[in-house]
Structure 1
Amino acid sequence: SSQLGSTLFLAVVVMSKRANENSVRPDPDEAKAGLFSLPSSVRPLTTDASPDEALIGKWVSEKGSCRIGKDIMTARLSYEEAVESQRLHGWLDPVAGETTSWKGTLALLKEGQGPWYGPSFGPAPDFVGDIKVRLVPGESPSLETQIRVADEDTEFQPPVSFKLESVASAAPVEPSPFKLQLPAVQKNDSDNEEKEESNKKRSRH
């Protein structure tokens, strides 16, 4: 019985040690998640208009362009800007107490890499800074963005003004190379015979 008791005691010690090792093991992606304003819930896409609809589209400035769209999985606003073969991506949240301002954190995504929704979606991308977006209403609305680069800027950089890319500047739609061809109407032999017989009768009279 003493040998059995010793065996059970050792088993309990081993299991307890393994549990402690698993509980204290740090998750680097969990730590990185704290840097990003990630989607907290999945919201269904709706057709109802919302105040942020005016942000959606491609915006251009003297320094480049950016896109603001609504994420297909979370229905949240997202900011994207091409940086050579990579792109900046950030989730945009409304600024409390303001109706035309949004803010977010920026990640640098590699070519072909999709948005990061949290640790369950693989390794976290590189956190590169914060962004503020402000919509300037008017007859021709404009967009102002300010970026604060991580580990470099203590304050946000001066705003960069963007204009919504007009429909007129888009490439015209090319006409379709395919033409609709209607099938030729085929005449039955019986119809031809009847017409020939009718013509013969008319010629006799």
Structure 2
Amino acid sequence: SLPGHWVGDTAWPSPSVTPIAYALRGTPVLVRSPQHTGVDAGRFRPVGNDADLPPNQREEDARSACFEFEVPGETWVLGRPRVRLRLTSHSPWGQVIARVCDVAADGSSTLVTRGALNLSARYGPDQAVSWKPGSTEDVVFDLTATGYAFPSGHRIRLSLSSAYWPWIWPQPGSAAGFVLDPAGSSLELPVRARESDPRITFEEPEQSEPLGVT
């Protein structure tokens, strides 16, 4: 478990949440992740055991293209982060996986949220349009909603990969990866103002003892 508390808002979308864009920097990079990227994803269907949680993401990050942003002061995120990526693919099929991690001073990487896009569904889940090999397009997709406080002095890391087994089934030709142009890419975080902090309290939760793990 992780420390934290409940917060409440009178409306959603919350007037206390402001989208903040972090521009990616650098030269175009080939993202061609090893096919075992995703082994540290945690359990797909958690059942309440400690082993359900994703472990330290350092090895997963090493198999991905990473971009980092400083956290000048404690930063609260509440909602669905969004990524905008400029990609060039030489395969008609593929996928891109984005993870947002909290990087501590010792280098440990904690998974905050993640999301994936089937490149053939970039115009919507109801449209299957293969990628024209060699072409460049801008894609946008949201990550899973999260509520997280990045401590001051930590770093926000965006990790991008072309594989996420066994959560994402690899498509034909996807092992070739894609080229990411940071100049046309960004991470957008829904940042919540700390001063608007109507805390909510509940009674202590009740649950059965988890099964033993050997």
Q: TM-score range by the shorter chain?
A: under 0.3
Structure (1 or 2) with the greater helix fraction: 1
**TM-score, length-scaled by structure 1:** 0.24
